[in-house]
Structure 1
Amino acid sequence: MARTSRLSGLRNHTVEERRALVADALGSDDPLAPLVDGGLDEARADRMIEHVIGQIGIPVGVATNFVVDGREVLVPMATEEPSVVAAASNIARMARERGGFTTSSTAPIMQAQIHVVDVADPHGARLRILEQREALMALADEQDPRLVELGGGVRDLVVRIVEREGRRHLVAHLLVDVRDAMGANAVNTMAEAISGRVAELAGGRPLLRILTNKADLRLSRARAVIPADMLGGPEIVDNMILGAQLAEDDPYRAATHNKGIMNGISAVVLATGNDTRAVEAGAHSHAVRDGHYGSLSHFERDAQGDLVATLELPLAVGLVGGATKTHPAARAAVALTEVETAQQLAQLICAVGLAQNVAAVRALAAEGIQQGHMALHARNVAVAAGAEGDEIDLVAARLVEQRAVRADVAERELASLRERP
């Protein structure tokens, strides 16, 4: 277990020094080696996907200060966006004052859909399928005896009749506890195996047999209390709550509000080799579960006037299978978190998403999002303009001072800098 995630001033060190500090916190000699060069050689990349011609690098940072369920944890985050890692770390520092983040989750249940078409009597077909529920569940479990040995397997079979605009669909759902896997391959295999029998009972033909990424039975939750004085005082808390309420009521605001949550979530999902698209699809479908697209998180004030921030959303991530196992850098990132189960990883990711969300809303409610974000973005603009070495920070500082973080200004300031004797 990491001795502490409170690595103050990490940004003031060189990259090499940061790695040494993180390794020391983990009590390991070189746990981050695969992250140094991306950990992926050409041969391994060629086995992972088709038509490989190269790779693309994404910076991996470490979010510090996190305490999750009483455990000090360092969090790997893969993202190209400035301010994300720093913002999450800052809110995690504030949350430490009230014990950090508290999390919980449901069982890792994934669902596969079997879509049956050309059914004459869908209501009758639904009951015929349910009459054979136990046999169908047993047949599905036979496809993955190892999963059953580990305590997972099919938990239920439900049948839905979906009607919309005069169309009618018969859809059977297999509910499967996938344990420490993301679960796509397991549930898809099970759905394929029973689809013929399901269609036979329904008197139709099987069409689609695939998981749903609306993983609303696989929820993760996080809660944190942030002292009002650390956020900037009661007025800032009031403004944060008002801003969060707009995100609950207005889809236009909610889209950006939830994107802020996903800034944190997707960064950890990507770093650990999990499926960012599946997680994002599940999150946004959850945001519209009652027919209105709104905020995934909620902000309140407790009896002491401190901010209570909560987040609940589907998080289908795994520790076995896929890139999580085949990509050396992903394995190193998972090792950095020191989690032991997929549920622990999902809960940690949820906590990071909540921290990111609080940071963004606080910035909006206080100094405005641009001040901090653009200060960090200025370095990227300086590099794009051609700045090198010490020039990068000098040009970036001038951009921030002028409140003009633009390419043309960076080019002008770089030229001016280089003209000086």
Structure 2
Amino acid sequence: MPVENSRFKGFFRKSVEERRQAIADAADLEPKHVEALARYGELDEEAANRMIENVIGTMSLPVGVATNFVIDGAHYIIPFCLEESSVVAAASNMAKRCLAKGGFRTNSDKPVMIGQLQVLEVPDLDGAEHAIAEAKEKLMAFCNDIPSRMIALGGGCKDIETRQLQTPMGTMLIVHLLVDCRDAMGANAVNTMAERISPQIEALTKGRVHLRILSNLAAHRLARVEATFTPEELSNDGTREDGLNIIDGILEAHVFAEEDPFRAATHNKGIMNAISSVAVACGQDWRAIEAGSHAWTSLEHGRYTSMSTWVKDDDGNLVGTMELPMAVGIVGGASKVHPVAQANLSILGVESAQELAGVMVCAGLAQNLGALRALSTNGIQAGHMKLHSKNMAVSAGAIGEEIELLSQRIQQHEGVRTQTMAEEWLNELRQG
């Protein structure tokens, strides 16, 4: 279940241990989850060796939580796992500015994934499509005739579609299995069905099945978000006039991303900063999610453009919407193997894959607005460098109290800040 309240006064001022305890109390975490977080996510050798091949060690990344999120009337604390500063802060800030109109609103499709079969050397393409259509019910029953908890819970193959694909190597018949994966991401189940049904497809089409694999363009598994931000919420000084000016600047920045693929790539990377970070934190296949999101954006618009849409409504409010494929799961995979992924899912409190998908697109929209607002006002570096200064100090060789002192000097410098400058300032600091 979501938490009662996602807002924490002075959260960033607390120590790491104090923050962890506050989240543990708010999310009612089990001791094992608190312990997993306190170990900084380190896998033991046995667990790591089960996950991939040729294991030689593990690598940790920071896990932070985005606060202030109200989604469909409920409060959520959202775990992020990434190395980039300012992302968690920006998402939390924008979520805080999205409360006057009730927070984020989501809608997610059923968790249907696509399994593709590539059929070659078909002598009669139209006849093959007709034969598959005639046998569709039997084919689906065969796909679902396996011991499976997913199928027992109402999932399984729900439809079969065909299309002819023109290629330089001739016309291919492409068969799509539409599989309801319930609360799993579904890759293994879909791939198993595609491989299992291949002999029947070959018999019906008189062709040769070549590839049998799921598609990461989960076009039947879309998650949608909408959020409304008032001018007063987005302003620097609380005035409507300032907020309206900021909204106009955001819209000018957004239309740049809509029309220019070079800008859209960076704009969308900012969206994925949040979506992929939540995916990593919760043990999801973030590469599949990223691939599907970029592909869907191009397919939907006929060109590469912004994943998000921003407009100003009749009352002067800024309204953001986004629709992306979200192939996620809360059962199976790394979400059930990695102890910190389990802890993060517990913090999030989602009870279905659809709910997780909705939370992730909310995080993406919030992060997108955070970047647009920063770019169209003070510039992205103002907030980013404030948080990045400690990394610069450590990279320069600062230790102990030197880190904070050097970080403060980097922040206070009004001109261009470089790593060379940081190293010179550290030498000055040590020389007294």
Kept in 1, the 8 Å contact 2:42–2:60? The answer is: no
3-state SS of 1:179 partner: coil
C-alpha distance after superposition, 1:213-249 (max 9, x if no partner): 0001100011111121222211110111121112111
3-state SS of 2:100 partner: helix
C-alpha distance after superposition, 1:253-300 (max 9, x if no partner): 111111110000000000000001000011000110132101111001
Displacement of 1:164 = 3.5
Kept in 1, the 8 Å contact 2:42–2:59? The answer is: no
C-alpha distance after superposition, 1:292-330 (max 9, x if no partner): 101111001122211111111000000111100011110
Kept in 2, the 8 Å contact 1:381–1:405? The answer is: no
Q: What are the ranges of 5 or more consecutive residues in structure 1 without an aligned counterpart?
A: none
* Change beyond 3 A, Cα 1:125–1:29: closer
Kept in 2, the 8 Å contact 1:283–1:314? The answer is: yes
Superposed, which structure 2 residues align to 1:265-344 within 5 Å? 265-289=275-299, 290-344=301-355
Q: What are the ranges of 5 or more consecutive residues in structure 2 without an aligned counterpart?
A: 236-242
Matching residue of 2:24: 23
RMSD: 1.3
Match of 1:239 among 249, 257, 266: 249
Displacement of 1:65 = 0.6
Q: How many residues of Structure 1 are paired with residues of Structure 2 in the alignment?
A: 420
TM-score with structure 1 setting the length? 0.97
Matching residue of 1:366: 377
Matching residue of 1:415: 427
In structure 2, C-alpha distance between the alignment counterparts of 1:301 and 1:415, rounded to whole Å: 51
Displacement of 1:166 = 6.3
Confirm or deny that 1:221 pairs with 2:232. Answer: no
Match of 2:134 among 112, 128, 131: 131
Kept in 1, the 8 Å contact 2:406–2:425? The answer is: yes
Superposed, which structure 2 residues align to 1:103-142 within 5 Å? 103-142=106-145
Displacement of 1:369 = 0.8
Match of 1:252 among 246, 252, 262: 262
Displacement of 1:103 = 0.6
3-state SS of 1:376 partner: helix
Confirm or deny that 1:392 pairs with 2:400. Answer: no
Matching residue of 2:14: 13
- With 340-349 and 401-410 compared, the bigger mean Cα shift is at 401-410
Matching residue of 1:381: 392
- With 125-134 and 255-264 compared, the bigger mean Cα shift is at 125-134
3-state SS of 2:160 partner: strand
Displacement of 1:45 = 0.2
Identity of aligned residues (%): 48
In structure 1, C-alpha distance between the alignment counterparts of 2:303 and 2:341, rounded to whole Å: 36
3-state SS of 1:404 partner: coil
In structure 2, C-alpha distance between the alignment counterparts of 1:370 and 1:183, rounded to whole Å: 40
In structure 2, C-alpha distance between the alignment counterparts of 1:255 and 1:123, rounded to whole Å: 40
